[in-house]
């Protein structure tokens, strides 16, 4: 099919894309099958370009090529691997504006957020480069004389990465940069609805690696979930699968991989809450909540879904929040004045419409928004809803800009409701009382993976481990010691004496 808008966006050619780009890279070559997928702009649902998808045969070719290159990459010293990741970061810096524009065009988030997503990859390259010189084990005391114990960490091998449409560049970067310095090879299946971002990002990684003599360390297999995704999750040659997506699909991935005793990193749904107490800086809380709720048109896994307000500040806060929504400019994500772009696709609009109908059926009151914006694009109104705290729909993550507001008596009631959902990703408490904060982060506080104070629920730094509990999947990516998931641990004991004492004082004379 002839593309409609390719020539309209010069940054596409700058990223090495074509009107019909190939969706598989391995062994130093780009290739594909005959099946194509359109890259559709959420702004007006026009076709930008097409991508030719990878097939099951290409998947097998990727695996075999990576197996052939595995030993050379694993045996390269970690600081040398880190230097290559540093070079990848430099190349991404050069392409930041173009890649950020492509994310805005194909995913639908505004240009500033697209640029921010690319910056995350640059930052994780820097982090990983430093990590390559500080990967560490432990020396442990032995109970036996003349013995020493230590921990040794080695690469897993091939890591499969399956990413979602909402962060089509950054999530691969989190996994790839850490995995690469750990000595792993990365096999990537990006979202079927953001194929150009996957191809453009993979080109940058692949070009740098090729300059350094490696043709398959990062391989892209941009196929369907039914074909490529299922092959990856069932493949014993892929000891770790990192999956970002819905809880429903994540449960399938987790079960499939665990049956073959593989490992998973699961980054699944979020149903994130902010608690605002009457001792908080309310103006700061208002700004944080507005961005967390409407940013990326509510399509972040960390997007704000629920606000719990102490009852004596509820009316004033909600009134100001509703007023702030009226000032948000909705429109073309490539327009620098836009604050909220479209939902990613028509399916997202249907999900939004169905949620609004269900809210009404469950007695919810729409304070602002609640409508689809007529036109060619996938635009909806950011929505604020009053509804009973125990309503069934509040338990569900709707991947759209729908925010529920509730009254609570005190911090203890708020913590109860924060935790009373199946998901456990991000949470935040606004307070100026340290007693409240330390209760919030303690054993009876928030049960989420991200537990914030006086900031919004969305927007995490790369230095900390990112991920959540319960139906969010339990995986961790990015910083802190998340690198341990990409390696295998050996407890190593050496006897440097001339006797053979047994542990636990056992006597066994022969």
Instruction: Please list, in sequence order, all residues whose beta carbon lies within 8 angstroms of the beta carbon of residue 369, skipping any fewer than 6 positions away.
Output: 325, 380, 381, 382, 383, 384, 401, 402
pLDDT of residue 277: 98
Long-range contact set of residues 257-266: C-beta below 8 Å, sequence gap at least 24? 257/233, 260/234, 260/236, 262/236, 262/238, 263/156, 263/239, 263/485, 264/240, 264/473, 264/475, 265/175, 265/240, 265/241, 265/467, 265/473, 265/475, 265/476, 265/477, 265/485, 266/472, 266/473, 266/474, 266/475
What value does the CA radius of gyration of the chain take, rounded to a whole number of Å? 24
Q: Report whether 150 contacts 496 (CB < 8 A).
A: no
Instruction: Please list, in sequence order, all residues whose beta carbon lies within 8 angstroms of the beta carbon of residue 80, skipping any fewer than 6 positions away.
Output: none
pLDDT of residue 459: 82
C-alpha–C-alpha distance, residues 263 and 258, integer Å = 7
Consecutive H or E run containing 293: helix 282-294
Q: From 181, 124, 127, 187, select the one nearest 155 (Cα to Cα).
A: 181
Q: How many residues does the chain have?
A: 510
Phi, psi of 155 (to 5 degrees): -65, 155
Q: What residues are paired with 488 via a beta bridge?
A: 154
- Adjacency order of strands within the sheet including 147-155: 139-140, 147-155, 487-495
pLDDT of residue 362: 98
Q: From 88, 216, 234, 221, select the one nearest 157 (Cα to Cα).
A: 216
Q: What is the pLDDT along the chain (510 residues), one digit of tens a residue?
A: 445 799 999 999 999 999 999 999 999 999 999 999 999 999 999 999 999 999 999 999 999 999 999 999 999 999 999 999 999 999 999 999 999 999 999 999 999 999 999 999 999 999 999 999 999 999 999 999 999 999 999 999 999 999 999 999 999 999 999 999 999 999 999 999 999 999 999 999 999 999 999 999 999 999 999 999 999 999 999 999 999 999 999 999 999 999 999 999 999 999 999 999 999 999 999 999 999 999 999 999 999 999 999 999 999 999 999 999 999 999 999 999 999 999 999 999 999 999 999 999 999 999 999 999 999 999 999 999 999 999 999 999 999 999 999 999 999 999 999 999 999 999 999 999 999 999 999 999 999 999 999 999 998 899 999 999 999 999 999 999 999 999 999 999 999 999 999 999 888 877
Domains of the chain, CATH where assigned: 19-39+49-268+473-490 (3.40.605.10), 272-464 (3.40.309.10)
pLDDT of residue 225: 92
The DSSP code for 501 is: P
Among residues 267, 381, 397, 471, the one annotated as catalytic is 267
* Token pair belonging to 127: 């982090």
Q: From 18, 48, 15, 20, select the one nearest 35 (Cα to Cα).
A: 20
Active site residue 267: yes
């Amino acid at each position: 099919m002839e593309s409609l808008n390719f020539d309209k966006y010069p940054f596409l050619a700058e990223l090495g894309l074509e009107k019909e780009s190939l969706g598989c890279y391995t062994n130093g070559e780009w290739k594909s099958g005959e099946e194509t997928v359109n890259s559709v702009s959420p702004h007006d649902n026009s076709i930008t370009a097409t991508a030719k998808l990878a097939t099951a045969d290409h998947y097998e070719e990727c695996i075999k090529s990576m197996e052939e290159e595995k030993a050379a990459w694993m045996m390269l010293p970690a600081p040398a691997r880190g230097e290559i990741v540093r070079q990848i970061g430099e190349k991404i810096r050069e392409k930041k504006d173009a890649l950020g524009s492509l994310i805005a065009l194909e995913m639908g988030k505004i240009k500033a957020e697209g640029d921010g997503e690319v910056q995350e990859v640059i930052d994780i390259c820097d982090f990983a480069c430093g990590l390559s010189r500080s990967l560490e084990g432990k020396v442990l005391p032995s109970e036996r004389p003349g013995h020493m114990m230590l921990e040794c960490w080695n690469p897993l091998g091939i890591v499969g990465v399956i990413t979602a449409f909402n962060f089509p560049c950054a999530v691969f970067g989190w996994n790839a940069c850490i995995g690469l310095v750990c000595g792993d090879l990365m096999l990537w299946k990006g979202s079927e609805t953001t194929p150009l971002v996957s191809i453009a990002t993979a080109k940058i990684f692949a070009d740098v690696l090729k300059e350094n003599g490696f043709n398959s360390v990062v391989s892209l297999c941009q196929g369907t979930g039914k074909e490529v995704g299922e092959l990856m999750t069932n493949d014993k040659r892929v000891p770790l699968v990192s999956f970002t997506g819905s809880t429903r699909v994540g449960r399938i991935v987790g079960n499939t991989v665990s049956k073959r005793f593989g490992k998973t990193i699961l980054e699944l749904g979020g149903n994130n809450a902010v608690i605002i107490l009457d001792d908080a800086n309310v103006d700061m809380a208002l700004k944080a909540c507005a961005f967390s709720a409407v940013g990326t048109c509510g399509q972040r896994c960390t997007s704000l879904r629920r606000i719990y307000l102490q009852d004596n500040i509820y009316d004033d806060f909600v009134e100001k929040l509703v007023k702030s929504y009226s000032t948000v400019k909705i429109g073309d994500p490539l327009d620098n004045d836009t604050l909220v772009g479209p939902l990613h696709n028509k399916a997202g609009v249907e999900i939004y419409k169905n949620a609004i109908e269900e809210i009404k059926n469950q007695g919810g009151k729409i304070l602002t928004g609640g409508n689809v914006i007529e036109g060619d694009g996938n635009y909806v109104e950011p929505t604020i809803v009053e509804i009973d705290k125990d309503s069934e729909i509040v338990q569900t993550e709707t991947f759209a800009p729908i925010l529920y507001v509730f009254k609570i008596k005190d911090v203890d009631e708020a913590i109860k409701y924060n935790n009373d959902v199946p998901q456990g990703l991000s949470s935040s408490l606004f307070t100026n009382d340290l007693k409240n904060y330390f209760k919030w982060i303690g054993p009876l506080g928030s049960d989420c993976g991200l537990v914030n104070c006086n900031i919004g629920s969305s927007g995490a730094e790369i230095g900390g481990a990112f991920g959540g509990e319960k139906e969010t999947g339990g995986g961790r990516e990015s910083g802190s010691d998340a690198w341990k998931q990409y390696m295998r641990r050996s407890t190593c004991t050496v006897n440097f004496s001339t006797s053979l004492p047994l542990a636990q004082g056992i006597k066994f004379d022969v």
